[in-house]
Amino acid sequence: MGKNSIKTTENLESSFPRYKAYSINEILAAGGTTAFADKMGKNFGDLVAALKELPKDAFLTEEEFLKAMETLNQSK
């Protein structure tokens, strides 16, 4: 395979969504993380409501959680 036969993504649209990244200075200028989230239209109440809408099987059981933590600790 020659160098010229390699396909690049220069002209292809990315499969990752485009999200604007904000600097620490922008967040602090907004008044901190909570104020920044409020200005972005995000708040803790929305998060809690969204979590309540998830099905029960979306969460780990106690046994699954302990196994996951064990695996995480072993990988350190």
What does pTM read for this prediction? Answer: 0.39
Asked if the structure places residue 34 within a domain, the reply is yes
pLDDT for res 75:
85
Looking at the domain assignment, is residue 10 inside a domain? no
pLDDT at 8: 61
Which tens digit of pLDDT belongs to each residue from 7-43? Answer: 666 666 666 677 788 899 999 999 999 899 888 888 8
The domain tally of the chain equals 1
Indicate whether 66 belongs to any domain: yes
3-state helix, strand, coil split of the chain in percent (to 5) is 55, 0, 45
What domain range includes position 50?
18-74
Give a yes or no: residue 11 inside a domain: no
Judge whether 1 lies within some domain.
Answer: no
Q: How many CB atoms lie within 10 A of CB 35?
A: 13
